[in-house]
Amino acid sequence: TRPSYQPGRHFLQLPGPTNTPLRVSEAIARPTIDHRGPEFQALGHEVLSRVRAMFKTEGPVIIYPSSGTGAWEAALVNALSPGDHILMYETGWFATLWSRLAARIGLVPELLPGDWRTPVDAAAIETRLREDRAHAIKAVCVVHNETSTGVTSDIASVRRAIDAAGHPALLMVDTVSSLAAADYRHDEWGADVAVCGSQKGLMLPPGLSFNAVSQKALRASESAGFVRSYWDWGEMLAFNRDGFFPYTPATNLLQGLKVAIDMLEEEGLDAVFARHERAGRATRAAVRHWGFEVQCIDASADSPVLTGVRMPEGHSADALRAAILERSNMSLGSGLGQLADKVFRIGHVGDFSDPATLGTIAAIEAAMRATGVPHRSGGTEAAIEVLAGEETPVPSTQ
Ligand code: PLP
């Protein structure tokens, strides 16, 4: 059993929720304010306006007091109608969950099969859309960064596929684990609805979710047939115009969001993305040095957000994670769905720097040595080489 106090900072190396920086925690801890008063109005105007830069959109961003799953549902019920067909792509567990949610609410999702190791195949989407001459498919829904596997997909290529097929479907993108960690360009890439959550790149605790909405999606919502109330974009936007919300918003989390945006802008989004990329490269170098496989097998799709690590045959990922928690007070992500106990996930997302990356890798290696998981020692040194700028280029496939 774990002692009630484990010394040292807890290492929350999940691909979300991520470590909340003190500045953000302090902002959240400030007294709760009147959500109908002038102080909130100024805050509402500010965060609703400034959050758009995180999505790289000029259009509206809707903020819900919910987890990312709520924003998944919101995207679907606002822009679509019961019985609509939607095309999805099985990048992994989260794409699968989104398709199950869609089926449960009365949509007809078609999940193009994937191998959980490679990104969205835009050519397969184009082929399927070309077959759909009657335009029965109303939306294409893809996950930008598949958090269950550590594979990032090329969203611009999906837009090009839709356009090449001459298909009018909306493009919906799950950016829950990519936003403010991997570059996402809502307007430039022609996305119609982006879905996001607060607890990953945005460095907030769980509890806020987002829909960035294009003009085309807004128009679709005017004739969309789903019954909706709490998730309704229309009422939300009407209130947001004055800086307010139709119901009691998560005022304290919005105070934190303002500070998180300050911090991301102080660092600069490009520097934020580069920091994540670099930590990803260092982590993968360590994993490969150990002699383990990275779950992603397409080097062009390696995630800057997390690394999925495949355990050697006959060894339990969950047992290793438990040992690491007990020995080093560090949480790593579990394998999800078909990857349960076979894969563990190292998060390198949110508020972290080199010591966090190195400490994470070193603590994993120490636990492997202590518990007899076979590996080649020296993963930390391999990561140091990357962080010191001495890495040798990785071949395009492993
Ligand atoms: N989509 C992705 C890519 C995720 O990583 C997650 C959560 O990890 C979700 C959706 C669901 O978000 P939530 O758990 O906040 O409901």
Nearest CA to ligand 1 atom 9: 68
Nearest-angstrom CA–CA distance, 331 and 10: 8
- The model's pLDDT over 7-33, given as tens digits with 9 standing for 90+, comes to 899 999 999 999 999 999 999 999 999
Report pTM: 0.97
Core vs surface per residue 370-396: b (16+ CB within 10 A) or e: eeebebeeebbebbbbbbeeebeeeee
- Asked if this assembly's ipTM is beyond 0.90, the reply is yes
- Show Cβ contacts of residue 357 under 8 Å, excluding neighbours closer than 6 positions: 279, 282, 283, 348, 383, 387
- The model's pLDDT over 207-233, given as tens digits with 9 standing for 90+, comes to 999 999 999 999 999 999 999 999 999
The residues lining ligand 1, judged by C-beta closer than 6 Å to any ligand atom, are 16, 67-69, 94, 143, 147, 174, 176-177, 197, 206
Candidate from 90, 94, 97, 336 with most ligand 1 atoms within 8 A of CB, to mutate = 94
What is residue 1's predicted lDDT score, i.e. its pLDDT? Answer: 62
Question: Which ranges of the chain have pLDDT less than 70?
Answer: 1-2, 391-398
CA of 176 to the centre of ligand 1 (A): 6
**Residue 297 CB-density burial (10 A; 0-12 exposed, 13-18 middle, 19+ buried):** middle
Angle (nearest 5°) at CA 30 between 26 and 31? 165
Can you list the domains of the chain with their CATH numbers? 11-18+268-387 (3.90.1150.10), 22-265 (3.40.640.10)
What is residue 143's predicted lDDT score, i.e. its pLDDT? Answer: 99
What is residue 390's predicted lDDT score, i.e. its pLDDT? Answer: 78
CA of 333 to the centre of ligand 1 (A): 13
